[in-house]
Structure 1
């Protein structure tokens, strides 16, 4: 599918992403925004997103992003990087009211919602999916910065197993637009604030190895978040750091969102399919990166997750013995 096929005859388009927008969510939304503004002059484009990390605000026209729906009924609403309709953030009402709806995504757990859906589970990111829907010659430097940011964030700077030859080809083409690619990596992905480093250090210090040291988990309570004055977006990267622990196959990070309620993030290296585990508990994501919300005590949550992780590890071990 190409962008022109997605847009069709629409004259007003709303673009929105998932709750707690990350680099790929913001990058894909703004990348599509610029592409439409620059190549389809007759189309009026509005982006809806919840609040996101300050480093991502370098993108051109980011001040035009809206967080509150004003009641406009759009010809077309496009949800980007949202694995299911319930995860759409600030633009959920605009999506529900639109004349036509579409979703473009790369999450393997995406059921394919909307009147039009284009889901590519093998892609590294929604930004990569969009790149191949666009005419590469018509991608400006402004759009390229956004799409490159999305790819960088969802691949962990090209370190995750979701990187393919097509990922690198897309990134190479975007770099060729003259974007400050090393600055984007440093300022939006690598740099952390002082409090982010503090809470990460606290979480790592209290991490626990289990399942014969093949798994690791840690959690951050609401009380700790208040003490360090951090928000959920400041916790990004903790689970990825846990995954880098030598000998670990699967990492789990929890943070408290309510009374006996936790947001769960999981990462795996080579064996465990965490998307299957997250889906079993009402969440979703990718084979090696997924999440969900779970209830109970920390002990209950980790026990329920570890049961399914252990089964996958044992199944793998048994298959290797055959």
Structure 2
């Protein structure tokens, strides 16, 4: 596996590029969106022509500024920056432009990252990709209020509001620096954790109704089908809070949530308590992530996917 490049090498490569495309993983979350839009805005301010390639995301993420940078690619770029994406397959449709770019850089905080860029900077202990992006921008690019808001959004999203064990003193130092920019930190927090659409509420209720315990209560697992999502008048962009509710069930070691993307494709999310490596579990299905939080996509009908996951969990336990 390739070693990390230095920050200076990466900064010099970015400085040489005129046209830059930035993308995160498919079904982007607060960290991916915050990192891409903050980095994009900083590079625009430095005189670069920037296109951010992100899939449509849930309305709650519109609290992150600089969404106007998200647009269709016009052609190959001098540089492609992949942020918060563990492997090139997770780039989705943006992978087409990754392969056509003159140069590629991969910046991420997932320990399972495959280091697929020509330059790579992977910091598995970082709380978020936004924390790493801040490290690149600090002292090198001007960070304004809107950029700071995006970076703060990524920090709180991937740390669950500074609750996850990945939260470090450095995470909190950066959060403090970002708050000095006058960001609407209360609004960002409330939008992410205390605000939801009615359809999101209904889908969550359906998923929790479907939840069950396995292996003497060590595993809690829930599923939701496309039909159930439609019946709640929602979309699969409204599901990311469910796994965290499941993870809060007392006495469980592992939480699992599966939802139907198509009749033969299922997205699985895992959370694990101390001593349970759910990244290793996700990797068995071609996914990845962190030791305590990971995910994958399984090519199978949802009931079969659930059987496969539970079989692997039984081995793990």
Match of 1:53 in 2: 58
**1:133-178 deviation digits (Å, cap 9, x = unpaired):** 2225832111110011011111111111221222111112111221
Residues 25-80 of structure 1 show CA distances to partners (whole Å, capped at 9, x for unaligned) of: 11000110122223x22x221111110111222333312311x333x221101011
1:285 corresponding residue in structure 2? 289
Match of 2:262 among 241, 258, 261: 258
The offset of 1:305, in angstroms, is 2.4
Give the conservation status (yes or no) of the 8 Å contact 2:66–2:146. Answer: no
Q: How does 1:244-255 map to 2 (within 5 A)?
A: 244-255=248-259
Instruction: Confirm whether residue 107 of structure 1 aligns to residue 110 of structure 2.
Output: yes
Which residue is 1:124 aligned to? 127
1:26 alignment counterpart: 33
- Distance in 2 separating the partners of 1:18 and 1:301: 22
Task: Say if 2:21 and 2:53, in contact at 8 Å, map to a contact too.
Answer: yes
Tell me, in whole angstroms, the C-alpha distance in 2 between the residues paired with 1:219 and 1:263.
Answer: 10
Deviates most, 26-35 or 253-262: 253-262
Q: Aligned equivalents of 2:212 and 2:307: distance in 1? A: 13
Q: Distance in 2 between matches of 1:158 and 1:309?
A: 28
TM-score by length of structure 2 reads: 0.92
Aligned pairs (5 A) from 1:1-322 = 1-2=7-8, 4-38=11-45, 40-41=46-47, 43-66=48-71, 68-70=72-74, 72-136=75-139, 138-313=142-317
Segments of structure 2 that go 5 or more residues without pairing to the other structure are: 1-6
Please say if residues 249 and 269 of structure 1, whose CA atoms lie closer than 8 Å, have aligned partners that are also in contact. yes
Unaligned runs of 5+ in 1: 314-322
Contact 2:37/2:69 (8 A) holds in 1: no
The CA deviation string for residues 273-306 of structure 1, in whole angstroms up to 9 with x for no partner, is 1111101111111111111122445454334323
Moved over 6 A (4+): none
Task: Sort the Cα spacing of 1:147 and 1:200 in 2 relative to 1 into closer, same or farther, 3 A.
Answer: same
Structure 1 residue 246: Cα displacement: 0.9
Aligned partners of 1:247, 1:82: CA distance in 2, in Å? 32
- Tell me by how many angstroms 1:229 deviates: 2.1
Kindly provide the CA deviation profile for residues 242-273 of structure 1, in whole angstroms up to 9, marking residues without a partner as x.
00011111100011122243111111121211
Distance in 2 separating the partners of 1:113 and 1:299 = 33
* Secondary structure of residue in 2 paired with 1:264: strand
In the superposition, the TM-score normalised over structure 1's length comes to 0.91
Task: Give the superposed CA RMSD.
Answer: 1.7
Structure 2: how far apart are the matches of 1:269 and 1:134?
33
Deviation at 1:6, TM superposition (A): 4.3
- Counterpart of 1:109 in 2: which secondary structure? coil
Asked if the contact 2:219–2:252 (Cα under 8 Å) also holds between the matched residues in 1, the reply is: yes
* Alignment size in residue pairs: 309
